[in-house]
Amino acid sequence: MTTPALQTDPLAPPLLDAQGRRMTYLRLSITDRCNFRCTYCSPASWGGKKDLLNAEELGRIAGIFAALGIRRVRLTGGEPLIRPDILEIARRIASIPGVRHLAITTNASHLEALAAPLREAGVDQLNLSLDTLSPETFRRISKQGDFDAILRGIDAAAASHYASLKLNVVVMRGVNDGEARALVEYAHARGITPRFIELMPFGQGVPVPTAELMDRLRGEGLDLSAEPEETGAAADSVTSGPARYWKAPGGRVGFISPLTQNFCGGCNRVRVASNGDLRSCLGGRAQAPLHQLIRGGATDVELARAIRAALGDKPEGHRFTEPGNGATLLSMMGIGG
């Protein structure tokens, strides 16, 4: 097996981590600021980083990763659509040779105006965050944000002919766990795939295990049957992710279970925070300061070597469930999701 240490050309694929897993998916945070303040993501004390990467720097980083074998780029935040240059960023990255898919994760509050322009700029996939259908519950989760703008934005996305639309729901016990069936029906009515995510230990709230949530959905009359697992040529390591999908009468339903069904074995992702810090793992602090290298005049080869060195320290799996580890983790906004 090829390892990072044995790679003869630092700028040639494959891009492997310490366990030999091939990295094909870059999650690139373009801001750690947000117009919401969700309790599980953005602590009130979070002030944000300084010196965010500009559009040219983001494009350069994405281009190096594409040369190394990254085929899918997801723009994250914070809320990426609050950047005034979001369309320029999208166009730059969509035009990079080797990038097959450009996705954005967004709270949808700016999509009423941006859904169609983003599609024209080359974005082909959107993940839309919506944890509740109740304005009152939304206000419990976030003290800021326009709930009606979210719903209008989701409808605009559904009308804009994206190749893939997913609705991300972070499930919190006693807050929104009773809305799962209604959220499935809401998403399917708009041609969107709902995905229920176990709460991770980055902020406030109590998680609901996936198995419990699935039992609840079945108890409420939702027929769920497992999709066959794709293998060989049918399995696409570029578009695959941590979700496991089930068939329901109205469409697919996904579940992401970082705590009870660890997904690290198939990890194909690398993360770069909004200030250019490469983070090899969502649940760790190891990083490489790509922004300092770029602004210090580093060549593409030097950047590629730094990327490979950081991935050489990537652990086999996250450590979310280790006692006391939650206190040492950065907020979700600080990591980039």
Asked whether residue 129 is marked as a ligand-binding residue, the answer is yes
113-152 pLDDT, tens digit per residue, is: 999 999 999 999 999 999 999 999 999 999 999 999 999 9
Cβ neighbours for 251, distance < 8 A, ≥ 6 positions apart:
187, 188, 191, 193
pLDDT > 70 in the chain, percent: 82
294-329 pLDDT, tens digit per residue, is: 999 999 999 999 999 999 887 665 554 555 544 444
Cβ neighbours for 327, distance < 8 A, ≥ 6 positions apart:
none
Asked whether residue 186 is marked as a ligand-binding residue, the answer is no
Asked whether residue 78 is marked as a ligand-binding residue, the answer is yes
pLDDT value of residue 326: 47
Asked whether residue 41 is marked as a ligand-binding residue, the answer is yes
The CA distance from 246 to 228, in Å, is 9
> Which whole number is the average pLDDT over 258-263?
75
Residue span of the structural domain in which 103 resides: 4-335
17-28 pLDDT, tens digit per residue, is: 988 999 999 999
> CA distances (Å), 57 to each of 21, 67, 71, 173, in order?
27, 15, 18, 41
Q: What angle do CA 28, 32, 34 make, to 5 degrees?
A: 120
Asked whether residue 100 is marked as a ligand-binding residue, the answer is no
Asked whether residue 166 is marked as a ligand-binding residue, the answer is yes
Asked whether residue 244 is marked as a ligand-binding residue, the answer is no
**Structure token digits, residue 142:** 């976030």
250 or 258, greater pLDDT: 250
Asked whether residue 106 is marked as a ligand-binding residue, the answer is no
Total tally of structural domains belonging to the chain: 1
**Structure token digits, residue 2:** 């090829």
State how far Cα 310 lies from the chain centre. Answer: 20
The CA distance from 37 to 39, in Å, is 6
48 CB burial (10 A radius; 0-12, 13-18, 19+):
middle
pLDDT value of residue 1: 42
Asked whether residue 247 is marked as a ligand-binding residue, the answer is no
CATH code for the domain of 159: 3.20.20.70
The CA distance from 51 to 294, in Å, is 13
Asked whether residue 319 is marked as a ligand-binding residue, the answer is no
Asked whether residue 49 is marked as a ligand-binding residue, the answer is no
Quick check: 80 pLDDT over 50? yes
Asked whether residue 270 is marked as a ligand-binding residue, the answer is yes
Quick check: 202 pLDDT over 60? yes
Asked whether residue 162 is marked as a ligand-binding residue, the answer is no
The CA distance from 291 to 51, in Å, is 9
Asked whether residue 267 is marked as a ligand-binding residue, the answer is yes
